[in-house]
Structure 1
């Protein structure tokens, strides 16, 4: 089935989304900062064979309208994304996300009752790590008339995602970052200020931790397993990170199996 695009009205303007599938359980996906729902481009058709899968652009990223300013917090983003999900008819979805998207999934679940959570790289930082990310991770992009910002973004992703980064992934990351260069830090900073441990501990639904073996945040999986009431861990071996981009078939298969189990007979068919 063809992936379709749309917009949902919210208190912050319009939230853009992409959807595939017209039956089965609802699945809502949130991307890492500062990218867009395009990171799920290969995953959505795989999920759409047996589910109604929706990937959202975080407010301020992709084609979604930005928040009113830079000072909003992850619970604010979660409320607006839940508003968008409800506006397109999502009921008892399995909510999933990668890195800051995992925090968004937890925050959205507070406003949109979920059947389950699929989290990849929950940012369970200690105070020192949080302070370091806040101070160092989001320098201003060096925007100038010679295009220095593009080389800067290429170097940044080669450092953070690895020198073996496939050219198509590098292009996607750089393009999505550059389209929001003036506000790329907004969602990042909100994510670094937010501690998802309370929301994870309070979650009363099954949780799948679906991670790449060598992801930057894979060491946090053990903490997440201790915090969550009903959690299981699936590790995709041999991946340095970005499981949804590097292994979309394996990522989608694990997510879909969990979603169909979590949604149960009430999830639709």
Structure 2
């Protein structure tokens, strides 16, 4: 199903100076958050190895009607990592719940993109009373067959460091086919976050590949929107399976949506969320 976005209430030029940035302390350390607006809280969770910056343009758009909060997943961006060896989707979801509690939000809408969508699923499955609604953008589908393929597989952001820096060019080249043509600025933002993440740039994908997702999806009971970017070859084919596993979920497709959907098409992304929430 094609999805046509209505964006009339959004300014075409979102103001980044409206964004508030701060740190909150949870059990594992400091977590960086960026927020905008007031009202119904929406927590935005990024893909690997990005940061809150993936939602830089989305925050002011959603902030026009909501309290939009983008956090750096523990170990990414400016958030402190969990202890070595303890990274998992379950642990990242628990940390995100801690962040919401520290910010004073007993319940929130959770929206995640790629890795962030897997974390969002676990947040809704593990503490359903704290999740008002769910938005899963480009959500992976990790079943037993995928988990069996993961060991030893080279993930997209896995490059060996070289003293002359050529690994940065390799990282750029490995990602470029999945980014919109002529948007080198988006790749530059990706590179900055990948450098900050260090080894987690690759490990974050392995964390997703280890997640036992298929028994968790049916535990989601809140209103759920599944967003399928049509030009995302990693996620688009799996969107129907994700949606079919969540009772009552709604599946939409965004034409020309790519792997970096939130920063490539922020108005379409924000409008999809607003239209969904406005109906609930």
Larger mean Cα displacement after TM superposition, 64-73 or 78-87: 64-73
Segment drifting more, 210-219 vs 25-34: 210-219
Among 147, 156, 161, the residue aligned to 2:165: 147
Maintained 8 Å contact 2:110/2:134: yes
Residues 245, 139 of structure 1: alpha-carbon distance in 2 compared, 3 angstrom cutoff: closer
Pairing of 1:63-74 with structure 2 (within 5 A): 63-74=78-89
TM-score by length of 1: 0.90
* 1:233 aligned onto 2:251: yes
SS of 2:98's equivalent?
Answer: helix
Equivalent residue, structure 2, for 1:105: 120
Q: State the match for 1:176 in structure 2.
A: 193
1:94 maps to which residue?
109
- Determine the C-alpha separation between the residues in 2 that align with 1:157 and 1:140: 11
User: Which range is displaced more, 47-56 or 252-261?
Assistant: 252-261
The 8 Å contact of residues 142 and 212 in structure 2, kept in 1 or not, is answered as yes
Contact 2:179 2:260 in 1 (8 A): no
SS at match of 1:198: coil
* SS of residue matched to 1:115: strand
Matched, 1:75 2:90: yes
**Aligned residue for 2:36?**
20
For 2:138, which of 109, 113, 121 is the aligned residue?
121
| Structure 2 contact 146–209 (Cα < 8 Å) conserved | no
| Distance change in 2, residues 1:176/1:213 (3 Å) | same
Which residue of 220, 223, 237 corresponds with 1:219?
A: 237
The answer to whether the Cα contact below 8 Å between 2:133 and 2:223 also exists between their aligned partners in 1 is yes
- For each residue in 1:203-247, what CA deviation from the matched residue of structure 2 results, as whole angstroms up to 9, or x when unmatched? 110100122112221111111221111211121112233321221
Question: Whole-Å Cα distance in 1 between the matches of residues 117 and 48 of structure 2?
Answer: 11
* Residue in structure 1 matched with residue 73 of structure 2 by the alignment: 58
Q: Could you say what secondary structure the match of 1:29 adopts?
A: strand
Counterpart in the other structure of 2:50: 35
Distance 1:207 1:140 in 2: 32
Q: Give the whole-Å Cα distance in 2 for the aligned partners of 1:72 and 1:174.
A: 22
Pair 185,71 (structure 1): closer, same or farther in 2 beyond 3 Å: farther
Say if 1:87 and 1:26 are closer, same or farther in 2 by CA, change over 3 A.
Answer: same
**1:138 Cα offset (Å):** 6.0
- When the two structures are aligned, how many residues end up with a matched partner? 260
- Counterpart of 2:8 in structure 1 is none
8 Å Cα contact 1:74-1:190 kept in structure 2 = yes
Structure 2 gap ranges (5+): 1-14
Note the alpha carbon deviations across 1:244-269, whole angstroms, 9 max, x for none: 1221101101102223443xxxxxxx
Instruction: Give the 5 Å matches for 1:129-140.
Output: 129-134=146-151, 135-137=153-155, 140=158
Q: CA, structure 1 residues 20+163, in 2 after alignment: closer, same or farther (shift >3 Å)?
A: closer
Question: Structure 1 residues 88 and 185, CA, compared in 2 at 3 Å: closer, same or farther?
Answer: same
Partner of 1:265: none
Offset, 1:64:
0.3
